[in-house]
């Protein structure tokens, strides 16, 4: 990793640690891994969650969420077809943002909470885009 002149040496050394990138990939997808495992272990609750948000057929949405959360996470962690893994997780996150965090249709405290969650999810999508860009650059150095 090439550091710019304004980056402190200690920070450059930490960012260049060989194990940092794999750990960061796991951390990035950790919510999806946990969510997918929980949905798989408690499938009826996962179906009820999808139905709560009006997604029908709920069992199909729950199954799709499990496949995307676990499959997409594994692809990102192992560094294979990262564009597909991160992209599918990003689409899932965008759908959940629009369905579960529709702050524009809420008021008061609920609007406050939904607005924060919406933009936290947007930041997560940006992180998924960034990890995809990193892998693309690693595969095709300029």
Contact 46, 66 (CB under 8 A): yes
Q: What is the pTM of this model?
A: 0.89
Taking the C-alpha atoms of residue 31 and residue 71, their distance in angstroms, rounded to an integer, is 13
CB atoms within 10 A of CB 131: 22
Residue 67 and residue 16 in contact, taking contact as beta carbons nearer than 8 Å:
no
DSSP three-state, residue 3: coil
pLDDT digits (tens, 9 = 90+) for 79-110: 999 999 999 999 999 999 999 999 999 999 99
Sign of CA dihedral 122, 123, 124, 125: positive
- The pLDDT tens digits of the residues spanning 12-24 come to 999 999 999 899 9
């Amino acid at each position: 990793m090439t550091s710019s002149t304004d980056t402190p040496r200690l920070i450059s050394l930490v960012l260049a640690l060989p194990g940092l990138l794999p750990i960061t990939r796991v951390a990035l997808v950790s919510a999806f891994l946990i969510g997918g495992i929980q949905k798989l272990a408690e499938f009826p609750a996962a179906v009820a969650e999808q139905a709560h948000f009006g997604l029908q057929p709920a069992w199909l949405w729950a199954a799709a969420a499990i496949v995307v959360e676990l499959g997409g996470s594994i692809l990102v962690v192992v560094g294979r077809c990262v564009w597909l893994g991160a992209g599918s997780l990003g689409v899932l996150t965008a759908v959940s943002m629009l369905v579960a965090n529709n702050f524009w249709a809420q008021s008061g405290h609920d609007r406050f909470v939904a607005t924060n969650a919406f933009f936290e999810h947007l930041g997560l999508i940006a992180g998924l885009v960034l990890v995809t860009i990193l892998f693309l650059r690693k595969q095709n150095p300029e």
